[in-house]
Structure formats: structure tokens, C-alpha cells
A and B are shown apart, each in its own frame.
Chain A
């Protein structure tokens, strides 16, 4: 066993050296990506980038919350170079804490103004809209149509019939929370959330997990990003309906940002510019990620929901980012933890 271990150790060292010398462009030859989107997308991106530029690229997938916690813990000596994907609120919050270095790559010029920060704190790579993901079979049994209003969620027939994530661990769920704050004002929003809570079957950790529950037939309605719903429909073949609230819905801008003190800044900047290219953005659809690409020149997959199908609210991402800690904590105390005892 010792010999095998030695062999492995030698192999690890050699492969690191090999990676270091293979670099072609003027970069550090190495890149560590903090990825927000689903694993297979991150993997496909990393593989394509590595192939194109010969830069040894590794990544870790984390939710926004996990990412922020990690960056904070590692402030001054980050293990990551670039934060790619995941809602821009996370990156705004990180910037406030001095964890992000503003940088606008050359191709940011091709991105619509509302999808990027003027100072280059973050640049949008895709857009996703919050929606209802309904299991048609279960809704039929209840005699219901897919919800088309936020108030449809209060229907007593949906008792224990809705799944959504917890805003303290999920950007998706925070978008749901903040959308209510925009539409109703903070106090009325919490009244509404407490009422919806009566119908909630489960608050999950991850934003997309409710989609599995809808597909498996555990709940009739999940509140998730519509592209995730499309993806679950593709993967499972279950009849899932995507619908949107007529009052308007919140949306996320999936963004990228340069991490302050990155050990491989040149490679990180190269990645950031490449990630905005139509070529890189087209990768998403090949791994069933149906978000709308931020670069208008990217060929949009047919299955994806286009933004003109949806009414979007005036969503101030900067302000939403500012309020996240306070609102999530209030949600935890008033809506969640107060009711943490079993309710069955």
C-alpha cells in the first residue's frame, strides 16, 4: 500500500508540473473557479476552457451562501480566482465586504446595460425568472390549474402542497422573498409569507430541490426558477407546467466577478471575457441549462423560456443584496424557526 501511495503522490506532483508548463497564453497557467450553476454546466465550461487555453482549471460548486462564507473565511488569501454564475446579489454582498475586485472584461461591451454593473463589480452571464413548477397530474386531482398569481398559493386546497427553499441557504428562495417585499412592502410581505407557510410542505436547503419533489409527485407546486423546471421536465419526462404570476415576478442575473487577491488574475480575466462570448454561452443548452444567455448574439435554445413571456418586476439587485441578511434573518425568526417544531 505504501508503494501505491508513493506512486500516487509522485503522480500528483508530476501532473501539477505538467499543468504548469502546458500553459500557452500569458497567464499563470492555473485557474480556480467558484461556480454557482449546476455541476454539469460548470464541468462543461471548465473542460472547454481548459481545452481552448491549456490552463489547468479546477472548480467547486457552491450556493451563494456557501460561497460568501468561504470567501469571507479566506479573505486576503482566497483559494478562488473567479466567481462564475450564481445570482449577482451574492457578488454585490461580497464586494461590500471587500472580497471582489471590480473588472469589466472587453466583451462586457456586448452585454445589455441592465445586465451588468457600471463599475464592473459584476457582469451578467444569464438571466433566470422565478416561476411556478407544477405537477399537472397532481393539480388535476385537486381540480386546480397551474397558479397564475402569487395569491393562488394561498388556496387551502394546496395545504402541504408547496415546496420552496429557505432564503437563508438559497438565492432562489431569497428572490421569492424579495419579490414579495417589492410587490407588497416589507410588513405585508411577511404577512403573506406567514400565510403561504400554512401551505408549505417543506423548505429545502437548495433552490432547485423543490423541482425534484414536484417531478416525483411529492408536491403539486414548487417555486423555483423556470429554467430549472424545464430541466426537470426534460430529465424526468414528467408533465411539469411552467407558469408565472401575473403581478410580476422576480428574476436573477447570473453574474461573474473577479475575486480580490486572486492568485491567478490573468487567467481569471481571460475566463471572464471568454465566458461572455456566444461560443461559451452556448455551452449551457448542451447540458440542459435553459437560462437566457446575457449576450444577445448567443443562439437561444427553443425550450428555454424567453423573457418576453414573463412579466418582470422592478427588481433592484443592489438594494436586494443590501437587505438580504436582514430579511433572511427575519424570515428565519418569524416564518421558519418559530415553527420549527413538528406540525404534523
Chain B
């Protein structure tokens, strides 16, 4: 026992000898503890408190609650299935087929990442709704797009890049020698696909499926706008807080949403993703032989082209909405919506959101770097706990993050030493950081794991301090990953709605919350103009980051991934 303790202590003493790293460790622990773990703990403790008992009784007894839970699971299942299939189709065409427009397909596969909330849903309503341009004006249908079908459509095209990016990397890494071996043993194309390619892809498919499931359950914007009367847990939480003013019901429902989300996420994180059959040997292998069956090849191509066309149409139509008088009704050209967003009262939101996201981005980047470095390169007790906490921000649905932050910081702590944070810009920045750190950490961990520690050891044995080694050896090597983390953080923050919707303050206007307001009160034109401006800001910022931090390899890497 004593020996155990002293050895633990020795670990930390060794760690604390690197002054900078010790500070880094403390910062990471403080951030994760205060803004990730503590809010979740607050949700649990509020749920366990007697004050929440009436809300529990009421919600469990209400048949509506059970409907809402099943609705949420159905939605997750639908989006996960269709999104994974779409991702696989795009990845397969990208890697295995020798067809034109592959750059376009790749772009379509990553485009939705910078998409603001509501954009796709609004376009879908105007294009495919009851009086939709395509469904009604072109085909004469009165199709009701609100509800489960519309939601699955919108969420599948919004989230399928998660599956695409996972699967395209995996397909590329498949050793073509295995397929060639199977073929030369006389297996048909289909048999090779079924018995060689598919089994090797299973971990990737399962992981995409689970991640999409979690994302679909967590999404708030689309259920609010296109869900119609189909209520899911996230929109039910929104109703509890915003409509029924019932923080306890919100906390109870948050817990109900948290359980499947965390289960599926960590199933993916600890089990599926560790079960990779793909062996990266580093040795050059032959490049994959393109698929040669023409019928199959061209029908897959046609399908991909059709879907890409649909996605481009949906996104392109946002620009139509932003530049026309009344989207869906009066298509006369106007700049009114942009006047409103750029120079009217919408401009505050533009400046505020960009400012807060710009503060959160480097914060998330540096924290991500520190956490990733500690997790991969240092050995100390509690390391796996830090690893776990660092991905929580991604696993926990945004609405739950928001409620947790409110519960944790709506009064001063420690006898006033730590001020009340609700109502300040700081809590919004922290919400952004909580949501962005995991992506940044993941990106840098992946990069660090590929770098041989020997280089750092060589630097150390030549007498460089750990800080110098970190600065001169490690940082340059992981710069592309760091940059990818920054880009991810910024676009994630700018487009984030669910985590900040309950935290918006009078002083700090947030574009996504404004878009919700405009879209919900029926001003789709203003909302579309907001979306266009938001996309422009994100693209501009990404360009700026490459210029200041960047390197070509970083840019290429991001597109490749």
C-alpha cells in the first residue's frame, strides 16, 4: 500500500519536474473537471435530489414521454442506417471506382461539415414540402415533409460525412493484396466484396453507425424546424426549458437522453474502434484495382451523381433563399436580407459570434494539444480518466451540455470566490470549448501516435529540455493535426446551436440562435442570409488559419481525411 502510494507520488513528481507540463496538466484537469465533469455531476445530483421527484413521477407516468423516447430511437436508427449507407457508397465510389467527378463527390462528402443549423431543413421544406418547388410545383404532389421522413432525410445528408470520412480512410488502407489473392483463387467480384472487403470494413461501418446514431439523437435544430409533430428527446428538453420553464423536467429528460448517447458512444469508442483489422504496415502496397464490371460501376456512379446533385441542390437553394424576396413564394431578387444581417440589427450577432468562436478556437486548440500530449506521451495515474473526460464533450448531447452548464454555474461557487457565469460571454466560450476540445484532442492523438518517440528521445539525450523538445520537435510534426483541430473547433463553434441555446445573453448575440428565431417566426429569407454569411465567415477563417498557422500538407490532409 505504502509502496503503491509512493510510486504514484513519484510519477507526479517526475511530471512536475517539467514545470510547463505540470502547469499544462493542471490546466487540462481544471478545464475538464470544471466544465465537463462537474456539469454532468450536477445533472446527476439534481436528478437524485428530492426536488426532482415530482418531475420524475410526472414524466414517467406520461405516455408522451415514452413516445418521445421511442421516436428518438427510431430517428437514430433511421439516420444511422441511411447515413452509413450513403457514407459507404461515397467512400466506395471514391476509392474503388475509376469514374469522373470524383473531386466533386469528395467535396459533397465534406461540405455538410461547415453547414449551419437549419440551412438544410429550410431548403428541404421549400423544395420538398407541401407546397415545395419540386414536390408540388413540379410534380403536383402535396407531400408532408414535416416529421420522421423529413427528419431522416435532412439528418442523413447533414451527418453522412462522419461515415464517409471514416470509411474512405479505411477503404484506402485496405491491403489490395488480399482482394487480389481472393480473386486469383477464383472468387467472383461479389464474393470478394462479401467475404473480404465487407468483413474488414465491419469495424468502420459499426463505428460510423454508432456515431451517426449518437449525432442524430443529439440534434436539436432540425427536430425544431422540420420535426413537425414528431417530438424527440432534444426538442422535448427544449420545450421543458423554454416552454414549461421547468429546469427539473429538463434535467430528468437530459439524463434519459444521456444514457443511450453515452452507451452507444463508448461502445464505439472503447470496443468497435479498437477492433480494427486494417493493418498499416507502412510498406508500399499495390494500389487498389478499380472495379471493372461496367453495369455495376456506372449504376453506382449514376446513384452517387444523383445524390450529389440532390445535396448540391439543397445547399445551393439556400443562396436562392437568401437573395429572393420571400423564399418559396416570391422569387424576385433582393438584397434586403443581407442588409438586415450585415448592416441591420443582425450585424451584432455576426460580430459577437465570430469573436466568441475566435476566443474559443485557440483555447480548444491549446487544451487539445496539452491533453493529447499528456495522454499519448506521459505515463501517470489518471491518464485514462483524462482521455475519457476529453471525449465526453463530444459524446454528451449539446442540449445536455447546456443544461449542465446552467445548473453548475447559475450561482457563485465557493462562497463567491468563483462568480456566477450564466449570463456572461465566458460561459458561451466554455460551451464552445467543451464541444470542440474532443475533436482537437482526437486529431492530435492520431497524429502523435504515428510519430516515433525516438525523435523526441534523441532530442532529450542531446540535452534539450522537455519544453524545447516539445516546441522544436513535437509541435512542428503535429502542426497539420493541430491546424485541423483549429479548423474543426472554429466551424463547430460557429455552427453550434444546442449547447448555447439556453446560455444566450442580452449582451452577446449568437448567430445560430438568431437563425432559429428568424426561421421559427417564418422569415426564411433572413435565416438563409444568416446561413450564407455564416458559411462565408467559416470559409474565410479556415483560409486565414492556413495562411497564419498553416502548411500545404495540412490543407491537403484535411481534404484527404
Contacts and interface: CB of A to CB of B under 8 A. Distances in A.
A336 B507 CA distance: 35
Contacts of B65: 337
Given A332-B64, A344-B147, A237 B330 contact: yes
Contacts of B522: 206, 208-209, 211-213, 215, 232
A169 interface: yes
Chain B interface size range: 35 or more
A341 B63 CA distance: 10
A236 interface: yes
B102 interface: no
B62 A333 contact: yes
A300 to B, nearest CB: 24
B229 A338 contact: no
Interface in B190-233: 224, 228-231
B344 A217 contact: no
Contacts of A212: 521-524
A168 B244 contact: yes
Interface stretch (B355-363, B369-377, B451-459): B355-363
Given A216-B329, A218-B130, A5 B245 contact: no
A1 B64 CA distance: 50
Contact of B504 (A43, A60, A69, A325): A60
Main secondary structure of the interface of A (DSSP, over half): mixed
B321 interface: no
B431 to A, nearest CB: 16
B506 A340 contact: no
Nearest to A217: B131
A340 B227 CA distance: 11
A329 interface: yes
Contacts of A40: 345
Interface string B59-92: 0001111011011000000000000000000000
B188 interface: no
Contacts of B544: 1
B182 interface: no
B230 A342 contact: yes
Given A73-B406, A344-B147, A236 B326 contact: yes
B342 interface: no
- Size class of the contact patch on chain A: 35 or more
Contact of A5 (B244, B358, B518, B524): B358
Nearest to B250: A69
Contacts of A59: 506
B326 A215 contact: yes
Contacts of B231: 337, 340
Contacts of A69: 241-242, 245
Interface in A195-217: 200-206, 208-209, 211-213, 215-217
Given A60-B509, A73-B422, A206-B520, 18 more contacts: A5-B359, A61-B517, A65-B243, A65-B245, A69-B241, A73-B410, A74-B422, A80-B506, A209-B522, A212-B522, A212-B524, A218-B130, A236-B330, A237-B326, A237-B330, A333-B62, A337-B63, A337-B67
Interface of B: 62-65, 67-68, 70-71, 126, 129-131, 136, 144, 146-148, 224, 228-231, 239, 241-245, 247, 326, 328-330, 344-345, 355, 358-359, 362, 406, 410, 420, 422-423, 504-507, 509, 517-518, 520-524, 544, 548
28 contacts: A1-B548, A8-B355, A39-B345, A60-B505, A65-B242, A66-B242, A69-B241, A168-B243, A168-B244, A205-B239, A206-B521, A206-B522, A211-B522, A215-B329, A216-B126, A232-B522, A235-B326, A236-B329, A237-B326, A237-B329, A332-B64, A337-B64, A340-B71, A340-B230, A341-B67, A342-B71, A342-B229, A342-B230
Which 5 residue pairs are nearest across A and B when measured between Cβ atoms? A337-B64, A212-B522, A217-B131, A169-B243, A168-B243
Interface of A: 1, 5, 8, 32, 34, 38-40, 43, 58-61, 63, 65-66, 68-69, 72-74, 77, 79-80, 160, 166, 168-169, 200-206, 208-209, 211-213, 215-219, 232, 235-238, 325, 328-329, 332-333, 336-344
